[in-house]
Amino acid sequence: MAAKMLLSFAICRLIVTVGLTLNPVELLRLGVDGRLSQDPSDVKRASGDFGGLSRAEPLAVFRPESAEDVTRLVRAAYESAHGFTVSARGHGHSINGQAQTANGVVIEMSSGKRAPPPWVSEKSRFVDAWGGELWIDVLKSTLEHGLAPKSWTDYLYLSVGGTLSNAGISGQAFNHGPQISNVYELDVVTGKGELLTCSEEQNPELFQAVLGGLGQFGIITRARIALEPAPQREVDALMGKLNFIPATVFTTDLPYVDFLDRVHKAELKLRSKGLWEVPHPWLNLFVPKSRIADFDRGVFKGILGNKTSGPILIYPMNKHKWDQRSSTVTPDEDEVFYLVALLRSALDNGGETHALKYLSDQNRKILRFCNDAKINIKQYLPHYTTQEEWMDHFGDKWALFTQRKIEFDPRRILATGQRIFKPSFSPNTASW
């Protein structure tokens, strides 16, 4: 009884704050299966992310237990006279506050009581996973059947819906393509509060829009992911196809799970030293192959002076492995392009504040250099502050992107932390 009273108070406070005209009884029903919270600790956690560069306090936090929970909340936002925004949050690993909102509710997709666990079809080689499921848990479930997803990210403690809303890349992407190229089907809650199943054959426009769509068109509640037989030891399988002198080979051959989960082991070491929680002004860029030498001279040898702290990832990808009908963008020229990821942490002898400004300034210099040198880079996990910059980012896809927004999220209530579109209503606590 006490819990229900607290829940009622939280929802009523939300109604007063946002100015909803929706029947409060309808909103109260949201708490039957899920949980709406204004607890300060919940709000604080949903206010930040891994990047540590921005904060925005939501009015409430919602923990769904089913796709229907998500549907009811989004429909309430869509049908409200005054409206409120809704932002889906996975493991909170965004860099620039993309999953934040100051005008509404953050849906904690990876928290609380989980929706149905991953379900594996050995015969058809796919797994159905909840949108908030972490990839590490998907992997554990599929390995019980001797199978594994084809394409990965370099860090497995990310949510399925989160990576599919961007692209999902790692060193395997040159061969299998990004994660969005290895999905058969999705369940999506659109910005109109409709729960739709989509694929190449069913609601294909929504399917292509959501994949790499930065959360702008819907919230992924289920993904059907392609599987393959899981290799036992990656290196042995690859080396077995080559002719070589055995004595010249130096390798570290890890079990498949240990290899895929290698970044988490590094994370645990950093956490033990208190270095995981510092700001992370990361910069991820797609650089066309024809300009990678110019990028090297201007950035690595120039701006960075061949000196940098933290990991740097550089690996090639093939454009034909990316479906250009999706919402993602890659450099226009060249079949091959490179990911260049500067994964730096804002901590040095000068102190955290000094390091953050220094690294952020370097990032701006890199972007300015690429613009001046006319190197047609594209940001991965993009962050811009003006719509003009977003228009330039999407290029020829901008018209289609806006058309899809009008169709699937006409009130522009989803993922406002991306700062692509402003809500169509005037929220009481506008943050931008």
Average pLDDT of the segment spanning 8-17: 52
Cα(366)–Cα(428) distance, rounded to whole angstroms?
37
The pLDDT of residue 12 is 54
The pLDDT of residue 128 is 98
Q: Quick one: DSSP state of residue 422?
A: -
The pLDDT of residue 431 is 38
User: Which of 122, 163, 128, 176 lies closest to 145 in space, CA to CA?
Assistant: 122
**Tens-digit pLDDT profile for residues 25-53:** 445 445 544 578 888 999 999 999 999 99
The pLDDT of residue 278 is 87
The pLDDT of residue 28 is 45
Whether 311 shows a pLDDT value over 90: the answer reads no
Whether 203 shows a pLDDT value over 90: the answer reads yes
Structure-model confidence comparison of residues 241 and 70, the more confident one: 70
Pairing of strands 195-199, 183-190: antiparallel
Q: What is the pTM of this model?
A: 0.87
Whether 288 shows a pLDDT value over 50: the answer reads yes
What contacts 408, CB < 8 A, 6 or more positions away? 190, 191, 192, 206, 209, 217, 218
Cα(305)–Cα(172) distance, rounded to whole angstroms?
29
11 contacts 24 by C-beta, under 8 angstroms: yes
The pLDDT of residue 233 is 62
**Tens-digit pLDDT profile for residues 80-111:** 877 899 999 999 999 999 999 987 999 999 97
Whether 59 shows a pLDDT value over 80: the answer reads yes
Q: How many residues does the chain have?
A: 432
56 contacts 105 by C-beta, under 8 angstroms: no
Average pLDDT of the segment spanning 351-363: 81
Cα(391)–Cα(401) distance, rounded to whole angstroms?
10
Cα(257)–Cα(357) distance, rounded to whole angstroms?
37
**Tens-digit pLDDT profile for residues 164-175:** 999 999 988 999
The pLDDT of residue 137 is 94
Name which of 27-36, 104-113, 204-213, 348-357 the model is least confident about: 27-36
Within 131-170, strands assigned E span 147-149
The pLDDT of residue 135 is 96
3-state secondary structure 380-418: CCCCCCCHHHHHHHHHHHHHHHHHHHHHHCCCCCECHHH
Whether 380 shows a pLDDT value over 50: the answer reads yes
The pLDDT of residue 261 is 72
What percent of the chain is modeled with pLDDT above 90?
67
The pLDDT of residue 382 is 96
Res. 21 pLDDT band, cuts 50 70 90: very low
Average pLDDT of the segment spanning 341-365: 81
Tell me which CATH code domain 2-113+412-418 carries: 3.30.43.10
Structure tokens at 432: 């931008």
The pLDDT of residue 337 is 98
**Tens-digit pLDDT profile for residues 322-341:** 999 999 999 998 999 999 99
The pLDDT of residue 26 is 45
Structure tokens at 161: 């819906």
DSSP 14-75: HHHHHT--S-HHHHHGGGTTSEEE--HHHHHHHH--TT-S-----SEEEE-SSHHHHHHHHH
User: Exposed, middle or buried, 76 (CB in 10 Å: 0-12/13-18/19+)?
Assistant: buried
Give the up-direction half-sphere exposure of residue 317: CA atoms within 13 A in the CB hemisphere. Answer: 30
Cα(285)–Cα(303) distance, rounded to whole angstroms?
15
Res. 354 pLDDT band, cuts 50 70 90: low
Whether 7 shows a pLDDT value over 70: the answer reads no
The pLDDT of residue 432 is 40
* Helix axes 398-408 and 387-394, enclosed angle (nearest 10): 110
What percent of the chain is modeled with pLDDT above 70?
85
149 contacts 181 by C-beta, under 8 angstroms: no
Instruction: Tell me where in the chain the CATH 3.30.465.10 domain(s) lie.
Output: 119-234
Tell me which CATH code domain 119-234 carries: 3.30.465.10
How far, in whole angstroms, is CA 75 from its chain's centroid? 23
215 contacts 98 by C-beta, under 8 angstroms: yes
Instruction: Tell me where in the chain the CATH 3.30.43.10 domain(s) lie.
Output: 2-113+412-418
Structure-model confidence comparison of residues 429 and 229, the more confident one: 229
* Whole-number average pLDDT of the chain: 86
